[in-house]
A and B are shown apart, each in its own frame.
Chain A
Amino acid sequence: MRYDVTTEPLDARELEAVVNHPGAGAICTFTGIVRDNSEGRSVTHLEYEAYAEMAVPQMKKIGEEIRERWPEARVAMAHRTGHLKIGEASVVVAVSSAHRHDAIEACTWGIDRLKESVPIWKKEHAVDGTFWIEGNEAKPAST
């Protein structure tokens, strides 16, 4: 298991290596990528901010939730913070299991829970302004 918040570029293959083991028949990896558009706005780049001392324990909790539901699963999660360019990876969730269905379902669960409960925020720099994204809402930023 591995849970990271880092300013360094993310490497999905590295997280897959963490969860890989001889009994694993499947690894499902979700990689979230910075997109050049959001709700009709043209996005130039994103800035992610984390409450890192809380974000990492929250990720661990999600890993524990996954292991309660899929006891064979091994989990690794990493989220990047700071300035991210279009096309860069912001988040990676990798889950291994004996069989593909469990790996895919557990990975989906993991990224969904991360988006709900891990204290990380994105600040969107768009052509027509800068916005804090709060859930599904974009609120003008003051800087």
Chain B
Amino acid sequence: MAVAIAVRVRFFARLRELAGVESESMQLPPHSSLADAYEALRVRHRDLPARDGVRGALNQEFADWTVAVRDGDEVAFIPPVSGGA
């Protein structure tokens, strides 16, 4: 049984600037959720805001914060979007 899983993390827009990185890899205990990943990242990157308004994505799809992440997943944290004109 694995003692940790590794995921790739990506940040965009204002969160990318606040985190100071575009992407990184992180290790998490097995059965961690998307919310667990974000909270662990907030410890590492103190300027990241609370989750309100931020959406999580798992492998390029929006996902609930409660969804479990798995080894090799790509997780991303998405501030409110503003495409268009």
Contacts and interface: CB of A to CB of B under 8 A. Distances in A.
Given A121-B79, A142-B18, A54 B61 contact: yes
A121 B17 CA distance: 13
Interface in B28-85: 53, 57, 60-62, 76, 78-85
Given A51-B12, A119-B78, A134-B53, A142 B83 contact: no
A116 B17 CA distance: 22
A34 B85 CA distance: 6
Contacts of B16: 49
A32 B12 contact: no
Contact of B84 (A54, A57, A111, A119): A111
Nearest to B78: A119
Contacts of A142: 17-18
A85 to B, nearest CB: 13
Given A35-B85, A143-B17, A135 B60 contact: no
Contacts of B14: 121, 132, 134, 139, 141
Interface of B: 10, 12-14, 16-18, 53, 57, 60-62, 76, 78-85
